[in-house]
Amino acid sequence: MSLVDLDLTPFRLSLQVGLLATALCLLVGVPLAWWTARAHPLVSGVISSLVLLPLLLPPTVVGYYLLYLLGRQSGAGRFLMDGLGLRLVFTWQGAAVAAAVVALPLFVRTAQAGFEQIDEDVLRVARTLAPPWRVFLRVVLPLAWPALVAATLIAFARAAGEFGATVMVAGNIPGRTQTAPTAIYDAVQAGNSAQANRLAAVFLAYGLALLVALAYVARPRRR
């Protein structure tokens, strides 16, 4: 028994799900975090609470609602399928959407903290000197960079390891939607503890590597 026997497909799928979900988090999460960090406290409070909801619900519940939302039963699902030709239910892309929803709260919260610590006066001065897009690219992003990298790593870790929500939306089809976490579940169910051990060991190594990366991003720096 060795790692050579390992079927790497579940890991490849986990990686795909993780990357696509992280990309979605960045796309939605950066503007959302920026906006909530600067909006009126009431507005930002309501929005950040709503974004937090998936964190509080069991992932299977999130997955259950997404399954309904993305499937034929809902108007949104029909629009995605018939209008855009996007079939998300029982595909790895669907799993990525589910993983993104679960990871979004962690991403937004972390990124928001990064945006909030930028000095208000620095932004005021910047606005008197440059157009908003330039302020964002040249001042906001560089100053929030460590927080954004941390948010991205955390979101990726959460998304690549998601089980409940992805399995509800995408199922557990070996070679197509079976990600590493579901493969581990399968192996344990089938009594194949050797396989489960190997899969879990890879995850553990990956988790430790992420920890090191996070510690590096968050290292104290001279300011």
Partner 1 sequence: MLELDIERRFPGFHLRVRLAVHHELVVLFGHSGSGKSLTLRAIAGLLRPDRGRILIDGRPVFDAAAGVDLPPRLRRVGFVPQHYALFPHLTVRENIAFGLHGLPRHERERRVAELVALLGLVGLEGRRPPEISGGQAQRVALARALAPRPRLLLLDEPFSALDSAIRVTLRRELARLRRELDLTIVFVTHDLREAYNLADRIAVFDAGRVLQVDDREAVFHRPACRRVAELTEVRNIWRGVVTEATAEHVTVQTPRFALRAAAGPSQPGQRVDVCIRPERVILLRPERHPAEALRDTALAAEIVSEEAHGAAHTLFFRLPGADEVPYDVEVDLPSHPYEVLGVRTRRVWTLVFPRAAVHVMPAADGEGDASA
Binding residues vs partner 1 (CB under 8 A): 119, 121-122, 124-132, 134, 138-139, 142-143, 222-223
Of 111 and 139, which CB lies nearer to partner 1 in the complex structure? Answer: 139
Of 9, 205, 16, 36, which Cα lies nearest the Cα of 94? 16
| Burial of residue 41 (number of CB atoms within 10 Å: 0-12, 13-18, 19+) | exposed
Handedness of CA 50, 111, 213, 15 (dihedral sign): positive
Q: How far is the CB of 44 from partner 1 (least distance, A)?
A: 17
Q: How far is the CB of 42 from partner 1 (least distance, A)?
A: 12
Rounded to whole angstroms, how far apart are CA atoms 119 and 99?
Answer: 33
Of 219 and 222, which CB lies nearer to partner 1 in the complex structure? Answer: 222
Q: How far is the CB of 13 from partner 1 (least distance, A)?
A: 38
Of 44, 21, 1, which Cα lies nearest the Cα of 151? 21
Q: How far is the CB of 127 from partner 1 (least distance, A)?
A: 5
Of 75 and 131, which CB lies nearer to partner 1 in the complex structure? Answer: 131
Q: Which value, in Å, is the radius of gyration of the alpha carbons in the chain?
A: 20
* Token pair in block for residue 78: 């029909």
Of 106 and 144, which CB lies nearer to partner 1 in the complex structure? Answer: 144
Q: How far is the CB of 45 from partner 1 (least distance, A)?
A: 16
Of 44 and 177, which CB lies nearer to partner 1 in the complex structure? Answer: 44
Instruction: Fill in the DSSP letter of residue 5.
Output: G
